């Protein structure tokens, strides 16, 4: 009576339950790993806006769009006066 395939063995429900369990185990591993990967590969901020403004100013100076005087004047405005 118990050996007709419904109680013992891996009937259709047995394999389905095993695959469903494997799916959940895979999700419990893949989701945290994906989150760690995503957090690790996000582009980092370049810092305050003054740094990017200074970078633009240096690029314009390097391309020759502004002269030495204008570069020094604008750089003095962008950099904080820390007693140098």
| Whether residues 59 and 36 fall in one domain | no
**84 domain residue, yes or no:** no
Residue 18 lies in a domain: yes
Q: How far apart are CA 58 and CA 56, in angstroms?
A: 5
User: Which band of pLDDT confidence, cut at 50, 70 and 90, is reported for residue 24?
Assistant: very high
Segment 35-68, tens digit of pLDDT = 999 888 887 665 555 568 888 999 999 999 999 9
The average pLDDT across 8-14 equals: 60
Q: How many domains are contained in the chain?
A: 2
Whether residue 39 is contained in a domain is answered as: yes
Strand (E) or helix (H) holding 59: helix 49-63
Where in the sequence is the domain holding 3, given as residue range(s)? Answer: 1-44
Exposed (0-12), middle (13-18) or buried (19+): which is 61, by Cβ within 10 Å? middle
| Residue 1 belongs to some domain of the structure | yes
Q: Tell me, yes or no, whether 11 and 34 share the same domain.
A: yes
Residues 1 and 31 in one domain: yes
Q: Which of helix, strand or coil describes residue 9?
A: coil
pLDDT at residue 62, rounded to an integer: 94
């Amino acid at each position: 009576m118990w050996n007709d395939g419904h109680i013992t063995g891996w009937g259709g429900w047995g394999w389905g339950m095993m695959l469903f369990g494997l799916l959940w185990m895979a999700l419990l591993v893949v989701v945290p790993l994906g989150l760690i990967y995503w957090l690790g590969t996000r582009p980092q901020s370049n810092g305050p806006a003054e740094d990017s403004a200074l970078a633009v100013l240096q690029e314009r100076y390097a391309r020759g769009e502004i002269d030495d005087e204008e570069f020094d004047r604008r750089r003095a405005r962008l950099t904080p006066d820390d007693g140098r």
